[in-house]
Amino acid sequence: MGNLLSNLTPVVKNLLIINILFFVAQWALSDFMKNLELSTMVSEEFRPWQLATHFFMHANIPHLFFNMFALVIFGNHLERVWGPKRFLIFYMICALGAALIYLGWLYLEISQVETFINYYELNLLLRTQ
């Protein structure tokens, strides 16, 4: 494992550092960092910059570990083959694509729920809680 970390490529190393800093900041500055988590587009909490910041956010240590492990294992090889600029573009496109797929999936889920909801009954339900 030490050999693997000593041979990190520059972009992978910087992405690891950024992800770890964001993870620490999530605990230290939790109210501010909530603005960087990806919210659904219909939510009042959605901000356009979340499309570019969500992929630095991690729910817990295992989530961070496995994502960074995959970045080290696959990212080092891709960066060596493609070069730093092409790898970083690939990384960003994948992250943006993941956000769009996630938002699309949430939109489908929400629209399916909306077809079964009677808004009058929903308001009554919410008022009783």
Q: Tens digit of pLDDT for each residue in 35-91? A: 787 877 777 888 888 888 888 888 899 999 999 999 999 999 999 999 999 999 999
Give the Cα separation of 18 and 23 in Å (integer): 9
Q: What's the sign of the alpha-carbon dihedral 28, 31, 33, 38?
A: positive
Domain 2-128 sits in CATH at 1.20.1540.10
How far apart CA 81 and CA 58 sit, in angstroms, is: 28
Q: What residue ranges do the domains of the chain occupy?
A: 2-128
Which DSSP letter does residue 73 get? I
pLDDT, tens only, 4-49: 667 899 999 999 999 999 999 888 887 777 778 787 777 788 888 8
